[in-house]
Chain A
Amino acid sequence: MTQRHGIDRRQFVKLVGGGVVVLVTTKPSALLAQRRRLYPEDLNAYLRIAEDGRVTVFTGKIEMGQGVMTSQPQMVAEELRVAFDAVEIVMGDTARCPWDMGTFGSLTTRMFGPVLRAAAAEARAVMLRLAAEKLGVPRSKLVVENGVVSVTGQPTRKVTYGELAKGRRILRTVDDKAVLRKASEFTVMGTSPLRLDGHDKVSGAGHYAGDVRLPGMLYARILRPPAHGAKLTKLDTSAAAKIPGVTVVNKKDLVAVLHADPETADQALSRVKASWDKPQPPFDTETVFDHLVKVAGKGEVTSSRGDVAAARTAAVHVFESTFHKGYVAHAPIEPHTTIADVKSGKATVWASTQTPFPTRDRLAEELGLDPKNVRVITPYVGGGFGGKSAGLQTSEAAKLSQITGKPVQVRFSRAEEFFYDTFDPAAVVKLVSGLDANGKVSLWDYHVIAAGDRGAAVFYDIPNVSISVAGGWHGRGRDLHLFGIGPWRAPGANMNVFAKESQIDIMAAAARIDPVELRLRNLTDERMRRVLQAAAKAYGWKPRVAPAGKGRGRGVACGIDAGTYVTLMADVTVDLEKGTVHVDRVVAAQDMGIIVNPTGAKMQMEGCVTQGLGYCLSEELRFTGGEILDRNFDTYLLPRFSAVPKIETVLVRNDELDPQGGGEPAIVPMGAVIANAVFDATGLRFYRLPMTPERVRAALAKKGATAAAT
């Protein structure tokens, strides 16, 4: 199995050279036992101390903006007791790094972090043992700081890590004894050094996949159907082939034109004549929800307690709601790009991918090569958000390189990016809840269609609960969706939390209870209470019943994601003429356990809030059948500078808990916090995202007409 998933031990040791290398293996270990599913291989090497004292971390994770290129070396520097700037990191290169399943799910810090720290702690133990021998004193008499081991009270009797590593070739494996440092002892973790990728990124020197240039490289443009599901009926590439230097490839379903100049390749593609048979569109942006409800089936009950039916009869107020959200694009500014060089039975690939190792394994299969002859290198990734887990462009580039014998770049145009994205799926939630006379939620009957169960669990104390799920965010084949869907930052949780936390406010308003008060009344989970109260304090929340009306409002929403607890509070202004919603201020409070890098954590929270504005207010992919109507940023509207609120982040300390996820949690309550604030501002409850100006205007007009008629 080692063969399939990674290089073997011998290869690895040869590769990294001398010094001290600490590996993590799968031999029984309390630390690793629960993670074995994720790190299944014989060898997972994590760090090396070289003879010059430099420390190199090898990780299969990738840097796509989330900052792990900085936080991982922090963890190593902390446990190993070396200066932060003595640590280098090699990421996402399948020939040099240990196998990794991919960078997603806020797992890097939460799951990989403890393993990495254990490896560093083990390396420190090795160093102390070697120093004890060298200095002739027991280990208990030694102290270590900044990569220098010295005798307690005799600072001149010392030896550096580099000296200890010199001339050695030590391999160690992590065992159960690795003792991690406590949060109270931290000197590197818990601080915010400047990001290691900063200089590269502000100077233009940092390379992304598309910046790699190889001699003789061809740029490929690929013939694309006008709609998903369309069939090619006629093809004429003769005009394209006449352009000097153009190579035409026509193999199976892959029709491409290639040229050494990217614009000539574009021109060649425009001369390819193709006719297509487009299927009749079975549904579109507006009718997709009926389709989902009809096709998804009943699904499975994933959680239940009490008696929902009896509770419904007993409830004082029953609330029945249906929520909708359309497809949302990842829209990273860097389109999917890969450069592949396949020759003499070997493939080297530079890819913008969140999954270098699975990509390698897939390519090996597609190209008919041994995985050890396929190398995937991941330069900086220009935004992923889940969308770069998929990698059609990599398969295409590799195939075209194999066919032409030349290095080939495939870079999606923006239209291709919108066509082949694996979208956050359109989804529906049907929810019935009940309240008793004391403002206690007595009933929660929840059914989610096409978003999966992430974020569906209830953290309020509700005695009668049923949660059922039909169709996940990763889809279920073509019967549910007409084009690709897949993980989108906290997959499914954005929809689930939108529905859940909107419903709480619907009940609060009906029962004339302040929405924070209603939450606290139904909440015994201490972490969530703390986070909610921290947010309320930072915001300056005063109890009041919604709606206030008059175009200005405030909202609250809570969520749990990737082990992290978060509360958002927001102020909005609704333009009652134009229907535009402006978010003026967001307070985000978060308990994410031990914080590795506070500034990095805040940047992720701000990113979540800012990106989340899109799916709340403007982003919804428009389509008719398999034809995608949004093809660029002129109609698919990302949040811009003027839309960004003042964002205040509060990190709620919880040093008792290992570091939890940080890249996703703060985005999940965005739908509800904005919808709740819009309700407070207007008295209008929005059950569908995004709340576009057209929809807000329509709702205002309808309300006005109703008011006039009564």
Chain B
Amino acid sequence: MKKTIRFRLNGKPTTLETDGDRTLLWVLRTDLGLTGTKYGCGEAICGACTVVVNGEAVRSCSVPVSSVDGAEVVTIEGLTRGGKLHPLQEAFIEHGGFQCGYCTPGMIMNAYAFLRAHPKASREEIVKGMEDNLCRCGAHQRIIAAIEEVAHGAGGAS
């Protein structure tokens, strides 16, 4: 059933007339052209599709678009402001926290939400906070180092 869904997407008011049962991931990737959010497993297991809704990490492959009605949604594209990368994105580059890069948007969005809630998280807490995001290339050690730097160096994500 078509309905009107209004939300803020990467800071911009967005209105969709669409079936509210459609999955957020596919609405983002098709209607809204934001392909930075990836399909990995389709069952909220791997985290490649992670976006941030009202400050919390959400698996966009497993929630209906109607669930973001009235919400604030941030995708990987929304972290870069005016062409300037977010400190987390900078840290991922600096530490080599990626290889193939396919899980990276989900990793960064999960870390972004995690650091908002735990700005001074310890290494152990970061490991726990990232536990449910899968990387197959084995960039884990450097991903943790990147997040740690933001947590301890810059004082958490803004």
| Cross-interface CB contact of A66 among B36, B99, B108, cutoff 8 Å | B99
| Cross-interface CB contact of A203 among B29, B85, B100, B134, cutoff 8 Å | B85
Q: How far is the CB of A21 from chain B (nearest CB, A)?
A: 31
Which residues from chain A contact B92 at a C-beta distance below 8 Å? 198, 201-202
Which residues from chain B contact A333 at a C-beta distance below 8 Å? 38, 40, 46, 48, 100, 102-103, 134-136
| Cross-interface CB contact of A383 among B43, B85, B102, cutoff 8 Å | B102
Is A263's beta carbon under 8 Å from chain B?
yes
Which residues from chain B contact A206 at a C-beta distance below 8 Å? 101
Contact A414 B41 (CB under 8 A): yes
Contact A414 B42 (CB under 8 A): yes
Contact B43 A334 (CB under 8 A): no
Which residues from chain A contact B60 at a C-beta distance below 8 Å? none
Contact A609 B136 (CB under 8 A): no
| Cross-interface CB contact of A204 among B36, B40, B132, B134, cutoff 8 Å | B36
Contact B98 A202 (CB under 8 A): yes
Q: How far is the CB of A41 from chain B (nearest CB, A)?
A: 29
The binding surface of chain A is classed by DSSP as loop
B residues contacting the other copy or chain, number (CB 8 A): 57
Q: How far is the CB of A321 from chain B (nearest CB, A)?
A: 29
Contact B80 A203 (CB under 8 A): yes
Give A608 to B75 CA distance when docked, in angstroms. 30
Is A551's beta carbon under 8 Å from chain B?
no
Give A385 to B99 CA distance when docked, in angstroms. 12
Give A203 to B105 CA distance when docked, in angstroms. 7
Q: How far is the CB of B49 from chain A (nearest CB, A)?
A: 10
Chain B residues 42-61 with CB under 8 Å of chain A are 42-43, 45-46, 48
Most buried by A among B39, B45, B131: B39
Contact A204 B100 (CB under 8 A): no
Is B66's beta carbon under 8 Å from chain A?
no
Which residues from chain B contact A609 at a C-beta distance below 8 Å? 138
Give A445 to B14 CA distance when docked, in angstroms. 69
The binding surface of chain B is classed by DSSP as loop
| Cross-interface CB contact of B99 among A67, A200, A211, A413, cutoff 8 Å | A67
Contact B141 A200 (CB under 8 A): no
Contact B102 A632 (CB under 8 A): no
Is A213's beta carbon under 8 Å from chain B?
yes
Q: Kindly report which residue of chain A lies nearest to residue B75, judged by CB atoms.
A: A204
Which residues from chain A contact B130 at a C-beta distance below 8 Å? 641
Which residues from chain A contact B43 at a C-beta distance below 8 Å? 414, 632-634
Q: How far is the CB of A431 from chain B (nearest CB, A)?
A: 29
Q: How far is the CB of A621 from chain B (nearest CB, A)?
A: 15
Which residues from chain B contact A610 at a C-beta distance below 8 Å? 138-141
Give A334 to B29 CA distance when docked, in angstroms. 15
Give A120 to B104 CA distance when docked, in angstroms. 33
**What 0/1 readout, one digit per residue, does chain A (313-341) give for beta carbons within 8 Å of chain B?**
00000000000000000011111000000
Which residues from chain B contact A572 at a C-beta distance below 8 Å? none
Is B2's beta carbon under 8 Å from chain A?
no
Which residues from chain B contact A632 at a C-beta distance below 8 Å? 41-43, 45
Which residues from chain B contact A210 at a C-beta distance below 8 Å? 35, 38-39
Q: Kindly report which residue of chain B lies nearest to residue A417, judged by CB atoms.
A: B41
Contact A607 B104 (CB under 8 A): no
Contact A334 B38 (CB under 8 A): yes
Most buried by A among B98, B102, B130: B102
Is A10's beta carbon under 8 Å from chain B?
no
Chain B residues 102-143 with CB under 8 Å of chain A are 102-105, 108, 127-128, 130-143
Is A223's beta carbon under 8 Å from chain B?
no
Is A65's beta carbon under 8 Å from chain B?
yes
Q: Kindly report which residue of chain B lies nearest to residue A192, judged by CB atoms.
A: B96
Give A430 to B99 CA distance when docked, in angstroms. 37
Q: How far is the CB of B140 from chain A (nearest CB, A)?
A: 4
Contact A199 B85 (CB under 8 A): yes
Give A638 to B108 CA distance when docked, in angstroms. 19
Contact A599 B40 (CB under 8 A): no
- Return 17 A-B CB contacts under 8 Å, by A number: A198-B93, A199-B93, A201-B104, A204-B37, A262-B30, A332-B102, A333-B46, A333-B103, A335-B39, A380-B100, A607-B99, A610-B141, A633-B43, A634-B43, A641-B127, A641-B131, A641-B133
List the interface of chain B (C-beta within 8 A of A). 22-23, 26, 29-30, 33-43, 45-46, 48, 75-77, 79-80, 85, 89-90, 92-94, 96, 98-105, 108, 127-128, 130-144
Closest 5 CB pairs of A and B: A204-B36, A382-B102, A610-B138, A201-B101, A65-B100
